[in-house]
Each structure stands twice: as C-alpha cells, then as structure tokens.
Structure 1
Amino acid sequence: MLRSLRWRLFLWFGALVVLGVVAISFGTYRYASERFERQLGNQLKAVAYSVAALLDPEGLAAASSHWDPVLVETRRRLQIFSEHFDLSWIGLYRFNGRFLIHLADGGDSGDGFCYGYPILDVPAEVPTAWNNGESIFVPRYQDAFGTWISVFHPIKNASGTVVAVLDVSRNADEVTDLQQGIVAQTVRMTALIALLTLVTCFLVARFTTRQLELVSQTVREIKAGNLHLRLPPLSGSLELETFVESFNGMLGSLERSQADLQRRVSELKALNEISTKINYASSTMEILRVILEKSVVGLQATQGSIMLLDEEKQALVVQVVWPEDADEQRRASRELRPGEGLAGRAFLDRQPLVFNRGSEGCLKPYEQTLPASTQNILCVPLVSDQRAIGVVSIINRTSGPFGEDDMALASTMAAQVALALEKARLYELAITDGLTKLYVHRYFQLSLDNELRRCRRYSSEFVLILFDIDHFKKFNDTYGHQTGDLVLAHTARILKGALRSVDLAARYGGEEFAVILPESNVTSGLAVAERIRKAVEAYDFPGQNQSLKVTISLGIAGYPTHAEEKIDLIRKADVALYQSKKRGRNTATIFDPAFGTTPPAKT
C-alpha cells in the first residue's frame, strides 16, 4: 500500500510540477513572442519615421516617371536603410483612387519594379492609413512574395495631404525561424527541468513514505492492542515532529481512557451483579453480605466488614464480615465509639479515609493501632439523609495501595449499602408497629392471604391464634397509659421469644395480638398458645413502685380444620378467644362448632 502511495505521490506531484513547468514555459514563450513582435513593430515604425523625414513629399507628388530624379534619389536612400536595418522590404506606393501603384523600393531588384506597377495584394488597413493619414502596424499578412510583418506610414506634404505610403517590412519566415529556435531551446530547458523535477519528486515521495512506513508499522501494532507503543521521532520537518508529538500524546490519552473505561466497566459489572443479587436477597443482612463481597472483590482486597450504628449503645458494631473465615478480631462484635480508630473517624467526619502503611500524613498516628497484617485500609461512611449510619471497611488491597479511583468505587458501593439499609428501614417502618415492633394489622392481613394461598396450593395447614391482655382497660385506668404501653411492648417481646423464625406475630389492634403458625395443626397450635400464656403469666412487668403481673386469653382456629376462608378463620379464632374470657381468662381455647360462629360485641 505504501509503495502504491509512493508512486501515486511521485506521479501526482511530478505531473503537477511538470504541468506547471510547461505552463510557465509556454507562458514565457508567448510573452517573449508578443514582446518581440511589439519591439519589432516599434523598430519598423522608428525606421519608417526616419525614412519619412528624409523624403521629399512635394517631389514625390510631382514625380511622373521611373527615372525621375526624385524617385532615383528616393530608391538610393531606401536601399541604404534596407541594408543598414536588415529590412526584408522597403517600398513607396501611391494611391490612384482605386489601388496602390509602385513608386520606388529599396530592394536589390528595385530597378526592376517599374513606375506605376499596381500593388493589389496589400492589407485592407493600407487604404485606411492613406485616407486617415495614420501610421499602422500589421503583425502578419501574406502576398505573392511571402508572409510579412509590416508598418505602413503615410508621407504627407506641407499641407498635410498624403502623397505616398511607405512600406517597411520584415519577412515573417525569418521571425518564425527565430521563434522556432526559441521554442526548441525552451522545450529542451523544459524537458531538463521536468526531468530534474521528477527525480526530486521521486526522492521526496520516497523520503515521505519511508517516514509513513514507520508510522504505518507502529499504527498496526497499536491496532493489535499494544497501546504502550509510541511513534519513534521522525526527522525532516517541524510538521512531522509536531505530528509525532501530538500522536504520542493522543496515544497516552487513549491508554488512560481505556484504563479508565475498563475500570468503569468493572465497576458497572460489580454494581449490576449487586443489583441482581439484591433482587433475590431474602433479608437485609444477606444484601449487606452481597454488597460487601462485591466491594472487596471489586477493589482487589482480601477482606472487609460493615459496621452499623447501634442507636441504644451509640456505638458502631460489626454486623457483616467477608470472607466468613476472616480474622477473629474482625469477626467479633467489636464496638467502636464515633471518632475512635479509622472507622470511627470516617463515621464522625462523614468522609472516606484511606490509609496505606508507610505513607505520611495526618493518618500516620493510626498506624500503631492497626494489626501488623493490615497493609492498607479504606473506610467509607454509610450516609443516609445526611446522617451517618455505619462504616464499610475494605482491607489489604493486593495490587498496591488504595487510590482515588478505589475511593470513588468504594463510595459508590457504600451508597448502595446505605440505600439498601434505608429501604429496609422504610419498609420496616411501613409494616411494623412502632411500640411493639410487631407487624401492623395490614401486613398481618396480607400475610394471612399469602398463607391461605400457599396452603391451598400445597394442601397444607396452619393455625391462627388471637389473644388479648386481660382487663387491660382497667389496667390502664389504674396504672396509666405509659405503664400500659410498657406492658404492650414487653408482651410483644415475650411473644417473639416464644415463636419460631417462620411464625408471624402482629399487633391486631389495641391490646389484641395475632399469630400465624405455618405448617401447624390445632394441637401444636394449642401447645404454642400455652407456652405464650405461661411466659406472660410468669413475667414480672415493670411498674412504678413494684413489678406487675399480667395474664392473657387466647383463641385458636386452624385451616382447613375450622375454616377455609380468611374471614371465617378470623371470626372463629375470635369466638374461641371469647370462650377463654368466658371461662375466667388466662386460658387458651381451641374453636369448637358448639361455640357458634358469631363472637359477641366487644364493650
């Protein structure tokens, strides 16, 4: 390809230069020819004026024969001028009204042209010169004797009347021969210049393409992916040096951009994997483990942890570590106060902190507080709604110290953690009761619908327990609503402690609670109800001056044993609860069809 380019450059530039040389040569020739003709015309005019000044117009007008003394003298003078100025022809004519007639000439054979010889083949401008009395120049005209370059000059008498016309001419063939000699010389010079030009163009094209071969070879290797390669210095011109400098600068920018793009792709890949796994995570802790794992792997570190703020203790507590076999010191639920250690300071300042062992700076004092195995650590605060809620710590980057890009990626991951925690918090606020921390009534209804669908699909069973606190209104009136709230909160705590992880407890309304026991029958449901009742009965509730005792009454109904529709199941559990009240309270009762299906109105 470069050889083809070399020949194309050679041919194009050579052709352009040769055409330029030819055009210049032709223009020069045309200019020289025209200038030569103008100079020749001026010379002939000068001769004509000189001859005219020596002639006798009155004698010429009176001459009437070939041997007239005036004509003889005129011929002698014309011959002198013809020889002296190397004229091809010099003659004198008179216009008889119809055509020119010969008077005299300066040629060697002038005596042979008789007086009165008619001159017929003259240019049309000659009668005009006679009539107007003006000298005219005729560049070229042809008669029987050849082609001529002539000046026709009127000879006037004292009164200004034209009495004769002087013809001063040079043979055009002589001029043509001279011009052809000039053309031949010009062609030879043009050919020589063209040859030298072609050789120069070839050498220039070869030199240029040699530089381009270096560029082409380098570009091919760069195209193959070797962005570390750079163009070698190219000599020859400032433009080539500028090109190399600009091209190498572009490669450097491209290499940095590619590295940045690869890093961005890795970040996006990690974020995409995080988003995908978050959608299938079953709990907040699982989400945190996924994000932490991707953060550690994405930053090429060996381990990491997530610490969250415990509102009651006002301390940062380790919640998640990765990998699971990480250092026991990090796996332990170690607590840090805000501002304590690197993580505590990052939490307090709400700014990421990077520590690389051996580096100098304001974090140097923390080096002594870190284990010897910790070479570098990156702590990024978890911030939600302008409030710090925890810290992500990434430890021991395997590919070198942490940098600004690592901090940016870690901050992005931390934002994902904070977002997941905030979503979990908002979701928890939406489905849990603020006082008891149990699920709210609406979530209970949705969960009951889901459990009914599940049991219908898989032909399984479950139990619903409804219970309330005995004499709670009287309790509130006696001890006050604050104590009543404490009783509700402690009862909820006891309830959660008596259930399995798959069971669901909710605040049904007021002092009423509801429990869903999946994969349970009424017999096992009664056992759970008794366990709850006894735990509440045995618990010492905090009072103003002394501990208080509380009892509960429970009603139990099972699906599909007692009902297959939600509203019927709730109604029958409520009927069983009323029977517990009727029996004296502090008891658990399984629904029996003999109780009826309509609970009494509550007062």
Structure 2
Amino acid sequence: MDTTAMERNERIDQLMTVLRLMGEAQEASSVGPALKVVAEIAALLTNSSSAGIFVAEEQGGEMRLVAQFGQVATTASEDILLRPSSWVRSRESRFIPRDQDENSGIKDVPEAFRHDAYWVPLVSSGETIGRLVVGGLPGGRPDRTAMEFLRLTAAYASSLISGLRLRAALYQRVAVLTALAQVSHTLSATLDVNRVLNLIVESLARLVDVAACSIMLLDRERQELKIHAAVGVPEDVVKNSVRKVGEGISGRVAATGKTIFLRDVNMAQDGISGCNSSRYQRKSCICVPLKARGELIGVLNVNDKKTRDFTGEDLNLVELFAAQAAVAIDNARVHGLLWKTSVTDGLTQTFVHTYFQQRLAELVRLAAETRGRLAVVMVDLDHFKAVNDQYGHQVGDAVLQGTAALLRRAVRSVDLVARYGGEEFAIVLSEVSPRIALAICERLRRNIEQARFPAGDRQVAITASFGVAMFPVDAQEPTALVEVADRHLYASKQAGRNRVTCSRAVIEMAMSEAPASGATRSDASA
C-alpha cells in the first residue's frame, strides 16, 4: 500500500474515532464527562500530548479546569483556576511560546499548558465562557490545519456546554415547579400559614443546596421584619431576629423592594452595612423581596451554599421560587382570614357556637386517646338584660366585648373561648387538673366582677356565673359535658349568682391535689 493510501486510511480511522467520541460526548449527562471526551478529540486531531478545557461558572468569573486528557501533571482533586484579571479574558486564540514571560497570568496552571501550548476561546452568544488548550504539539507549535481543527473543536465544546447548561437549567425549573406544586398541595390541605412557611424554606434549602434559609415577614404597623420560618438558623437568632425596614441587608431589601446579591456579606456595598457571617462557611448571600398583589409582605434569605458560592443561576432560581412562594403565603393568609371570619363571632372576636361544638368533639377524642383531662366551662353574665334595658344595646355590646377580651386574655393559647349565645360564653381548658380549672374560673369571675365598662359618662359593673364540668370525671361525651356544665351554671344562678359551681367529685379531687390557697366562691352541686 502506497504512502498516500496509508495516510488516507489513517485519516479515515481518525475521523471514525472522532465521530465515536462525539457520540459519547452527546450522550454525557453533565459538562465534566462531555468535555473530557472533547479534550481527547482535540488531542487526537492535533496529535498533541495533552489537552484541557477551562470553563467559567458565570460571565466574567474565574475559569476552572473541568476536563483534561493526556500527559497533564495534576490530579482531579486539584483546584486549577484562571483568574479574571489574566489574559484569558481575551477572545483571541493565543500560542504561548517557550520563552513567554512568567508573569503572563498562567503560571498556576499545569506545566503542560504553560509553554508550547495553544489556547482557543470557547464562545457562546458572543461571550467567552471558557478556554480549550493543547500542549506538546508536534514541532512545538500548531500548523494551519491543527489551528482550524482546534477552532472547530472549540465551537463544538461551546455548543455542548450551552446545551448541557440549558438542559440543567430546564431540569432545575422542573425541580422548582415540583417544589412549588408541593407547596400548593400542602396549602390546599391546611389553613396554617406556619406550615406553608416551613415548607417553603425546607423546599428552597433542598433545591438550592444551602445550609441556611429563612423567611422574614413584614409587620406594617411597626415597620419591622421578623423571622417566621427558618432552616439552619440558630434558635437564638430566630428569636431575636427583628430588623427595622432599611436596617441591614434584609431591611434594605424591604425598603427598596429590590434583590440584593452579595459576594461577601462582610463587605459593605452601595451603602449596605455588612453582617456577622461567622456562623457561615461561605460568605455570599441572596436576599429577595416577597411581593404579593404589588405589595411587599417580607423577604427571603438564603445563605451558605454547601458546595460553592452563589452564581447568577442560583439568583435566578431563588427569585423564581420567591415569586411563587409569595403568592402561596398570601393565599394562605387570605384563606386563614376567610376561615377566621367564618368561625369567629364578629362582635366579641371569640369563636362561634358551631366551631365550639366541632372543636370540643376533637379535644374530647384526643383526651380520651391520651388519657388526658379537660374542663368545659359555661359562663353567663348576671342581669345582662337589665344593662341593655337601662343603658341601651350599644353599651350592652361594649360589655360583651369587654368581657370576651377579659376571658381571652386570662386563658392560654391552647384553650378555647366561644360565644355560646346571647350573653353566654363557653370555654374549653385543655390538659388541666380540677384544682387548676377551678382556680382559672375563680380568677375569671373576679376579673369580671372588678371590671368597669364605659357607658357614656358613667361606668357599668357586672358579674358572671360559672358552671364547670370535668372530663372524664363528670362525663365522657362532648354533649354530656356541656349539659353538666350548663346544669352547674344554673345552680350558680340559683345560689345567688357571681360564683363558680362544679360537682362534689371535682371539689374533692381539687382539695386532694393541694391545700386551698384562699377562700373562693366555688360551690359543689350534687
């Protein structure tokens, strides 16, 4: 076989190998493995002993060695970078001869790429996104054919990077939509805003791979921000996380309604004071406004990316998530407001009779399952009709409102206060002993007795009668508990009003728990 035929066959074999390698590159699922194949292609087409590809994570940023082939004296674990200040920002291809000045900006890269190497820019949409380099060229420098092959290979590498990044971005968008769908699903299953907030921070932290994420909601009246949900934030920081609008990074975002993306939270930027980042491994942070129906409702903070500092892609992702999260929060608030309106008495701001019955059944069932205790208390204002007749219904309404406020303030957040009808209220005290239940009722009775309600230029005094039923001592069913408490309320009325009445069994249990701490107006009913 003559020399020409041999060269032709070698070239055919070489092209077949290139086509096979290009197929492998196309099947790669991420940038690293794909570019490793491209580096092999570059070395093969130019007969070079080594090849490498540097890629910038974002525009104008440093370039990282992500793929290498051949005789490159480095390991995969080494962090090989080209700094933005070096000549690599140039878009022109460049050959580095052996006598190149050592201050050229490439002295930190592997030896194989420092001298007798040819560098070609990777360009996408007019922006330099990386560099392809080959070293150990035959004859010390590339000929015209090798240079043309390198330009074609660089174009192919640029296309691969752009395609894979686009695919990764699409996958990220799908992940965002999936997370948002989960938020929406939870929203439809609960009226609890706090559950929605916690789901948002947990989903975003997982999606962006950060160690710390928090939501601060705006108190419009006080013009303050406070953390309402967080992951990776110390408990003491959450408790003391009050920021005035305009104060610090979060406050500035709330004041301007614009995102802040800081490369280093310790550094001042545009008049923004830095913050203490000693608890974070990485110093970049993203703070995004949460807006619903054109109004700011809070800010979303993400800190401490686990693998690297934040990039522009991370920023886009957080902003997309924040936009949808703000809608979810606003919807939860609206749903919560509608629910509260439907179960709350408009005059007294206590729960309505129907919700009391529903919630009492749930609490009794829970107490039965856990062998717990609870008290049902019926309260009726004494001689209330006389107040209406003497002072008018507006004063009567003020008395009802004032009494309801006294009842709500005197019980715990886990307890339930409802307007049972007219001037009658119902209370459920969860997980209380007979002694504590009677002590609470006596305190309520005394507070109402001592209260004075405005009636024009005068003040109105009123008293209340109480009836108490304990689960499981007096009854085990919701309806029966209400009936017992109502019967004891009637006994209080019959005994002269302004007193607390319960069963003799409850009195005996209360006395056995601890000595009486003072005289009360509690009576026993048979």
Normalised-by-shorter TM-score class = 0.5 to 0.7
Which residue number corresponds to residue 520 of structure 2?
none
Instruction: For 1:256, give the aligned amino acid.
Output: R
Is 1:354 aligned with 2:257?
no
Q: How does 1:495-574 map to 2 (within 5 A)?
A: 495-519=407-431, 525-541=437-453, 544-545=456-457, 548-559=460-471, 561-563=473-475, 565-574=477-486
Determine if contact 2:260/2:286 at 8 Å carries over to the other structure: yes
Determine if contact 1:466/1:512 at 8 Å carries over to the other structure: yes
The whole-number CA distance in structure 1 between the counterparts of 2:214 and 2:368 is 43
Q: 1:332 to 1:592 in 2, by over 3 A?
A: closer
Which residue number corresponds to residue 240 of structure 2?
332
The whole-number CA distance in structure 2 between the counterparts of 1:276 and 1:474 is 52
Which residue number corresponds to residue 367 of structure 1?
272
- How far residue 208 of structure 1 moved from its aligned partner, in angstroms, is 3.2
Instruction: For 1:213, give the aligned amino acid.
Output: T
Is 1:256 aligned with 2:159?
no
The whole-number CA distance in structure 1 between the counterparts of 2:270 and 2:457 is 52
CA RMSD of the aligned region, Å? 4.6
Which residue number corresponds to residue 390 of structure 1?
298
Could you state the TM-score of these two structures normalised by the residue count of structure 2? 0.59
Which residue number corresponds to residue 110 of structure 2?
none
Q: 1:341 to 1:359 in 2, by over 3 A?
A: closer
The whole-number CA distance in structure 1 between the counterparts of 2:228 and 2:375 is 34
Q: 1:332 to 1:358 in 2, by over 3 A?
A: closer
- How far residue 371 of structure 1 moved from its aligned partner, in angstroms, is 4.9
Q: Which runs of 5+ in 2 are unaligned?
A: 47-143, 506-526
The whole-number CA distance in structure 1 between the counterparts of 2:311 and 2:395 is 54
Which residue number corresponds to residue 211 of structure 1?
15
- How far residue 206 of structure 1 moved from its aligned partner, in angstroms, is 5.1
Determine if contact 2:291/2:323 at 8 Å carries over to the other structure: no
Determine if contact 1:522/1:557 at 8 Å carries over to the other structure: no
Determine if contact 2:418/2:427 at 8 Å carries over to the other structure: yes
- How far residue 242 of structure 1 moved from its aligned partner, in angstroms, is 10
The whole-number CA distance in structure 2 between the counterparts of 1:550 and 1:486 is 12
Task: Give the match's secondary structure for 1:307.
Answer: strand
- How far residue 446 of structure 1 moved from its aligned partner, in angstroms, is 0.8
The whole-number CA distance in structure 1 between the counterparts of 2:388 and 2:249 is 49
Determine if contact 1:341/1:366 at 8 Å carries over to the other structure: no
Determine if contact 2:353/2:418 at 8 Å carries over to the other structure: yes
Instruction: For 2:17, give the aligned amino acid.
Output: E
- How far residue 332 of structure 1 moved from its aligned partner, in angstroms, is 1.5
- How far residue 467 of structure 1 moved from its aligned partner, in angstroms, is 0.8
- How far residue 422 of structure 1 moved from its aligned partner, in angstroms, is 3.9
Which residue number corresponds to residue 400 of structure 2?
488
Instruction: For 1:427, give the aligned amino acid.
Output: W
Task: Give the match's secondary structure for 1:291.
Answer: helix
Query: Structure 1, residues 42-84: CA drift from partner, whole Å, max 9, x if none?
Result: xxxxxxxxxxxxxxxxxxxxxxxxxxxxxxxxxxxxxxxxxxx
Is 1:220 aligned with 2:24?
yes
Instruction: For 1:392, give the aligned amino acid.
Output: L
Choose from 475, 480, 499 the match for 2:387.
Answer: 475
Which residue number corresponds to residue 323 of structure 1?
232
Which residue number corresponds to residue 306 of structure 1?
215
Which residue number corresponds to residue 500 of structure 2?
588
Task: Give the match's secondary structure for 1:366.
Answer: coil
Q: 1:312 to 1:367 in 2, by over 3 A?
A: closer
Task: Give the match's secondary structure for 1:556.
Answer: strand
Which residue number corresponds to residue 288 of structure 2?
380
The whole-number CA distance in structure 2 between the counterparts of 1:566 and 1:461 is 13
Which residue number corresponds to residue 97 of structure 1?
none
Could you state the TM-score of these two structures normalised by the residue count of structure 1? 0.53
| Aligned residues with identical type, % of pairs | 30
Which residue number corresponds to residue 517 of structure 2?
none
The whole-number CA distance in structure 1 between the counterparts of 2:454 and 2:243 is 29
Task: Give the match's secondary structure for 2:496.
Answer: coil
The whole-number CA distance in structure 1 between the counterparts of 2:145 and 2:409 is 88
Instruction: For 1:381, give the aligned amino acid.
Output: P
Determine if contact 1:380/1:411 at 8 Å carries over to the other structure: no
Instruction: For 2:272, give the aligned amino acid.
Output: E
Instruction: For 1:431, give the aligned amino acid.
Output: V
Determine if contact 1:522/1:556 at 8 Å carries over to the other structure: no
Determine if contact 1:392/1:414 at 8 Å carries over to the other structure: no
The whole-number CA distance in structure 1 between the counterparts of 2:455 and 2:207 is 54
Q: In the comparison of the two structures, how many residue pairs are matched? A: 392
- How far residue 277 of structure 1 moved from its aligned partner, in angstroms, is 8.0
The whole-number CA distance in structure 1 between the counterparts of 2:397 and 2:244 is 33
The whole-number CA distance in structure 2 between the counterparts of 1:322 and 1:570 is 43
The whole-number CA distance in structure 2 between the counterparts of 1:523 and 1:359 is 56
The whole-number CA distance in structure 2 between the counterparts of 1:556 and 1:277 is 39
Which residue number corresponds to residue 50 of structure 1?
none
Determine if contact 1:573/1:591 at 8 Å carries over to the other structure: no
- How far residue 384 of structure 1 moved from its aligned partner, in angstroms, is 3.9
Instruction: For 1:307, give the aligned amino acid.
Output: M
Task: Give the match's secondary structure for 2:302.
Answer: strand
Q: Which runs of 5+ in 1 are unaligned?
A: 1-194, 594-603
Task: Give the match's secondary structure for 2:234.
Answer: coil
Task: Give the match's secondary structure for 2:340.
Answer: helix
Query: Structure 1, residues 198-232: CA drift from partner, whole Å, max 9, x if none?
Result: x9998756533421212313533664551234353
The whole-number CA distance in structure 2 between the counterparts of 1:268 and 1:456 is 42
Query: Structure 1, residues 141-181: CA drift from partner, whole Å, max 9, x if none?
Result: xxxxxxxxxxxxxxxxxxxxxxxxxxxxxxxxxxxxxxxxx
Task: Give the match's secondary structure for 1:228.
Answer: helix
Q: 1:414 to 1:352 in 2, by over 3 A?
A: farther
Q: 1:453 to 1:489 in 2, by over 3 A?
A: same
Q: 1:335 to 1:480 in 2, by over 3 A?
A: farther
Task: Give the match's secondary structure for 2:290.
Answer: strand
Determine if contact 1:559/1:569 at 8 Å carries over to the other structure: yes
The whole-number CA distance in structure 1 between the counterparts of 2:322 and 2:257 is 14
Determine if contact 1:376/1:402 at 8 Å carries over to the other structure: no
Task: Give the match's secondary structure for 1:467.
Answer: strand
- How far residue 555 of structure 1 moved from its aligned partner, in angstroms, is 1.8
Instruction: For 2:16, give the aligned amino acid.
Output: L
- How far residue 304 of structure 1 moved from its aligned partner, in angstroms, is 4.2
Query: Structure 1, residues 363-407: CA drift from partner, whole Å, max 9, x if none?
Result: 943323655769544333333444433222334556324532332
Q: Pick the structure with more helix per residue.
A: 1
The whole-number CA distance in structure 2 between the counterparts of 1:304 and 1:317 is 14
Q: 1:200 to 1:449 in 2, by over 3 A?
A: same
Task: Give the match's secondary structure for 1:433.
Answer: coil
The whole-number CA distance in structure 1 between the counterparts of 2:369 and 2:165 is 58
* More moved, 540-549 vs 287-296: 540-549
Determine if contact 1:463/1:557 at 8 Å carries over to the other structure: yes
Instruction: For 1:308, give the aligned amino acid.
Output: L
The whole-number CA distance in structure 1 between the counterparts of 2:285 and 2:389 is 58
The whole-number CA distance in structure 2 between the counterparts of 1:277 and 1:377 is 28
